[in-house]
A and B are shown apart, each in its own frame.
Chain A
Amino acid sequence: MRRLVRVGGTTPGLMLTTGVALVLISLLAGLFAVLAVGQRADSAKAVATGSEPLGVKTQEIYRALADADATAAAGLLEGGVESADVRQRYQQAIETASSTLIQATAAGASGKVAEQLSVIGVQLPEYARLVERARAETRQGNTVGAAYLRSASKNVMRAKILPAATALHEMAEKRLTGDHRDATSTPWVPLILLLVSLVSFGGALWFFARRTHRRVNIGLAIAGLATLVSIGWLWVGTDSSRTDLDRSRSDGWGPVETLAQARFLTLQAHGDESLTLVMRGSDNGQYENDFKDVWGKLVGVPAGNGKPAVVGMLTRAERVTSSDPTTLAKVKAAQAAAADWDKAHTEVADLYRNGEFEQAVARVTKADGASRVAFDRIDEALRAAVAEDQKDFEDSVRSGRQALDHLDIGLGVLALLAAAATVDGVRREVGRYNRP
């Protein structure tokens, strides 16, 4: 023991101890760097293949459900026999909702997600049943058909199914935000460890040079260089990945979220417009009020009556897509269509009040009806904008993941290289003392 202390106190002993410490610290820094990069790559993969697709799926479920609700109302408005495209659209919406639901359930949802999925799974057949009854009654010429539709829309779709779909989407959003945060956080622990090991290598170089009168220990210099490269690569790699992933949010799922919200509002407004006519006043203007409410959220409301101004979802969509001319053009098209719809809706309301029911219905349901045409235009423009930004997301997240490619292996190799060079450098130096 005393001998060991004595040996440790000698120059070769000190060099050996320094060497062991350097090897340990550089291997530790390397290990942490490899783990941190792997974790970020996993999170980025989760964003790309797990949480974002889930977000898209839940969004699709919501859209399909809202679409079914709006289309069922439009179909009933046409009387017992709805036109082929309206029937098809309703059918497709229900099918999309069901199949997306099954996919989401099969993907192994657990806990709260499974809970919300089962709410939708249980209520959707109930909704479809009431809608079918509404159709059957209307087909018999029974005005109670409207009450069945209202029951389906109000008590099942809007009271149970859509809130569950919203909760589901919020959970997916939360997961996506979490994964994104994990994938883009700065790897401080490995960076600090690498810096510590770089400083240690510097210190050791200085110590060795003083004790041996040699200028530079080649092994330690190589190890220090390898550490420096590790720091640079880790910093640049994670930073460029973060830039790409952040772009996948700012140009990808961020705008997609806003655009999708605008699309949901559009669908709800279309449903409200149809339901106003379906109810024929027995709702005491409830759906017309609802329409105005939804419309305010879509296009905005100027400040007044002691209430602050509401920024419309379309205006927000315009803001978040301002850097992307292709998507912006589509948002502008949606805004233009919204202005036309506003005019058409006023006409519909006037026709309805004047008892020109058939004319009012034609505006909303006929393929060339002003209201229907404007709705179709907004819906299509927003759908295209969502698809566009979805593509932007995929591109950005792909290059974000590519920036992390091979980074973990590289950092591991560099750490091993640093350790090996240290061992070699120290061995050579200590070896000189052992020589007789």
Chain B
Amino acid sequence: MSIRIVLPTVVCALALTVAGCGAGVGERDTPEPATIAAAPRATPGPDPSCPDVTASLRPNGALPTPTALPAGSTMDTLRRRGFLIAGIDQSSFPFGFVDPQSNLLRGFDIDLLREVAKAIFGDAGPNRIQFRVVRNEDRAIAVARGDVDIVAETMTINCQRRQSVEFSSVYFTAGQRLLVQKDGVADRADYSGGLAALPRDMRVCSVPGSTSIGMLREQAPQAKVVESDTWAGCLVLLQQGQADAITTDDTILAGLQAQDHIFTVVVGRNLTLEPYGMAIAKDRTDFVRFVNAVLERLRQNGRWKELYKQYLGTSLSAEVPEPPAAEYRDSA
């Protein structure tokens, strides 16, 4: 029942970054956990130009073995070149980060890329992927221009980006939530009312320029916005008692929570839904289908849940959720 009510607002929330849709978000029912995990389905939204924004291209049957890649395909070209060029971020713990101990790249996104590399080359040796650090605002252009073969960088699929790149199926659904200290007060308050119901003068930290801070200013004028230029900087403010809460995508909050796992907690329901996809050039549809096949396999063989457990643990929920189901825009 809730699906019909929730989905239009979900698409609306997605479209917030593109065109403000304003009203309605705060009034909707709390989505059930299952709907959060599932990718928003094709429903006519406020942007009629791309109603099926999260629907990708269907895999061509089963995943071919590395030795049996179709001749002349993008994967074949990559295999012959010997490495994949991937756009990543090193500062999005736990999706893409440098392990402080080993100084090696790790993360949910990084491991997904390693899986793709393994499917092409048969192994995921250190030389199989050439990582390029791509700034958030350059992600779409880097793929479109061919600087990188693929981008896996907590990239939300939206209409504007879909105009310049093709996305894989949704591999993770994030949503804006709150992180508070476990002080016996902040963590026990009722956050079901969303941002609008936050206590007056609560000091909430967010990063200027993010969609989260926009939501915060719009929906919680009673709260005091504390700004920091990075999310980790927000955690510093929270730990130093200069902020009471942090609000942004739960994936980022999970990363912060993991660094102070005894004394902080992610609270509240999802205020937005951010479906993450890997970006690939529009003219490489064969590669999109191939990556989708890889993702399909990860969903089925339990590897996705393994990665979730490894990188997100119990930061967001006590149990590992089901992976988001893939949607395809062409019929089988």
Q: Which of A141, A142, A358 has the most CB of B within 10 A?
A: A142
A-side residues, CB < 8 A to B, are 79-80, 137-138, 140-148, 150-151, 279-285, 352-358, 361
- The smallest C-beta distance from A79 to any residue of chain B, in angstroms, reads 5
Q: Is the CB of A282 within 8 A of B133?
A: no
Question: Contact: A355 with B130, CB < 8 Å?
Answer: yes
- Interface: B97 (CB within 8 A): yes
Contact assessment for B103 and A147 in the assembled complex, using a CB-CB cutoff below 8 Å: no
* A280 contacts B235, C-beta separation under 8 Å: no
| B98 contacts A147, C-beta separation under 8 Å | no
Contact of A79 among B91, B93, B100, B231 (CB under 8 A): B100
Q: Which residues of A contact B104 (CB under 8 A)?
A: 357-358
Interface pair B135/A280, CB less than 8 Å apart = no
A-B pairs, 8 with minimum CB distance: A355-B131, A147-B232, A282-B91, A280-B90, A142-B259, A358-B103, A280-B91, A282-B230
* B238, chain A: closest CB distance, angstroms: 10
CA distance A426 to B4 in the complex (A): 125
Whether B233 lies near A147 (C-beta < 8 A) is yes
Answer yes or no: B296 CB below 8 A from chain A CBs. no
| A residues near B91, Cβ cutoff 8 Å | 143, 279-282
The bracket for how many chain B residues form the interface is 20 to 34
Return chain A residues, CB-CB under 8 Å to B131: 354-356
16 contacts between A and B (CB under 8 A): A138-B100, A143-B232, A143-B255, A144-B259, A147-B236, A150-B230, A279-B230, A280-B90, A281-B91, A282-B232, A283-B230, A354-B130, A354-B131, A355-B90, A357-B103, A358-B104
Contact residue among B97, B101, B233 (Cβ-Cβ distance under 8 Å from A280): B97
> Could you say which residues of chain A place their CB within 8 Å of the CB of B259?
137, 140, 142-144
The CA-CA distance from A285 to B133 in the complex, in Å, is 11
User: In the complex, A354→B90 CA distance in Å?
Assistant: 11
Complex-state Cα separation, A138 to B102, whole angstroms: 12
Task: Indicate the member of B88, B97, B132, B229 with the most A CB atoms within 10 Å.
Answer: B229
Q: How far is the CA of A280 from the CA of B92 in the complex (A)?
A: 9
> Which B residues fall within an 8 A CB radius of A?
88-91, 93, 97-105, 130-133, 135, 229-233, 235-236, 239, 255-256, 259-260
Q: Is the interface of B mostly helix, strand, loop or mixed?
A: mixed
Nearest Cβ on chain B to A22's Cβ, whole angstroms: 79
**Nearest-neighbor residue (CB-CB) of A81 within chain B:** B101
For B101, list chain A residues within 8 Å (CB). 79-80, 141
C-alpha gap A361/B103 in the complex (Å): 8
Docked complex Cα distance between A151 and B236 (Å): 8
With A141-B100, A285-B135 already in contact, 10 other A-B pairs whose C-beta atoms are closer than 8 Å: A142-B260, A143-B100, A144-B235, A147-B232, A281-B89, A282-B91, A282-B230, A284-B135, A284-B229, A357-B105
Output the residue of A140, A281, A283, A285 with the most chain B CB within 10 A.
A281
CA distance A146 to B101 in the complex (A): 13
Which residue of chain A is the closest to B240 with respect to CB atoms? Answer: A151
- CA of A281 to CA of B230, assembled, Å: 10
Q: How far, in angstroms, from A374 to B89 measured CA to CA in the complex?
A: 29
Q: How far is the CA of A2 from the CA of B133 in the complex (A)?
A: 108
Bound form: Cα–Cα A281–B87 in Å: 13
Within 8 Å CB of B230, what residues of A? 147, 150, 279, 282-283
A146 CB to closest chain B CB, in angstroms? 6
In angstroms, Cα B101 to Cα A138, docked, is 9
- Bound-state Cα–Cα, A352 to B131, Å: 9
Q: Give the contacting residue for B98; candidates A151, A280, A284, A353; CB below 8 A.
A: A280
Distance in angstroms from A343 CB to nearest chain B CB is: 21
Please, which residues of chain B bring their CB within 8 A of the CB of A354? 130-133
Chain B residues within 8 Å of A283, by CB: 229-230
In contact, B232 and A355 (Cβ under 8 angstroms) = no
CA distance A87 to B89 in the complex (A): 29
Closest to B105 in A: A355
Closest B residue, CB atoms, query A358: B103
Q: Which residue of A lies closest to B238 (CB)?
A: A144
Nearest to A355 among chain B residues (CB) is B131
Chain B residue contacts of A282, Cβ below 8 A: 91, 230-232
**Contact among B93, B100, B133, B233 for A353, CB-based, below 8 A:** B133
A357 to B126, CA, bound (A): 13
